[in-house]
């Protein structure tokens, strides 16, 4: 690789997954958030419903692109883990401070935070995942609170499932 590739940004909405060929599925745990994905990999990305993506990985449905994996590989696919979008990249991706913040006395309070994580796919590249959340819903150091989690007093960051 002589220069950094410029991938297209894909929008993964509610109840959708990002499918990289017939090998990798990335699914948000929180179905209410919209996620941007920038795959820096030579694998063809495809955004589809989570049900269809699961069927493709299990071999029950034909993949949208010609398959690159050997027959029977789908029996080896398992969860690669749950990853948190826990890095605050608001300053890099957000608007300037004066445009995106309002003044509350001497304190500037951000209206939203942009959280990100890079997922490394060994020997292939990486996928950058980004989501925007309201600051009201986010407690610094404790993460995003959904209605269910607030009831149970569990605080967590936005998470994604990865199957490979």
- pLDDT tens for residues 42-56? 888 999 998 998 888
Strand locations in the chain (E): 10-12, 16-20, 24-28, 35-40, 45-49, 79-85, 87-88, 101-104, 107-110, 112-121, 125-134, 138-139, 143-144, 158-163
Looking at residue 11, its pLDDT comes to: 93
Looking at residue 161, its pLDDT comes to: 66
Q: Is 0.95 topped by the overall pTM?
A: no
Reply yes or no on whether the pLDDT at 57 is more than 90.
Answer: no
Are 52 and 61 in contact by the 8 Å Cβ rule? The answer is: yes
Mean pLDDT of 135-164: 51
Q: Domain-by-domain residue ranges, the chain?
A: 10-163
């Amino acid at each position: 690789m002589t220069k950094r590739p410029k991938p297209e940004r894909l929008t993964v909405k509610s109840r959708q997954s990002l499918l990289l060929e017939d090998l990798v599925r990335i699914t948000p745990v929180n179905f209410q958030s919209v996620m941007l994905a920038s795959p820096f990999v030579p694998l063809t990305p495809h955004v589809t419903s989570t049900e269809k993506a699961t069927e493709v990985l299990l071999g029950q449905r034909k993949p949208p692109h010609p398959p690159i994996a050997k027959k029977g590989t789908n029996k080896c696919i398992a969860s690669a883990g749950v990853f948190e979008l826990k890095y605050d990249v608001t300053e890099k991706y957000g608007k300037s401070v004066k445009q995106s913040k309002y003044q509350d006395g001497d304190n500037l309070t951000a209206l939203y935070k942009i959280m990100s994580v890079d997922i490394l796919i060994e020997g292939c590249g990486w996928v950058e995942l980004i989501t925007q959340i309201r600051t009201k819903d986010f407690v610094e150091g404790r993460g995003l609170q959904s209605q269910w989690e607030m009831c149970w007093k569990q605080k967590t960051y936005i998470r994604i499932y990865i199957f490979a």
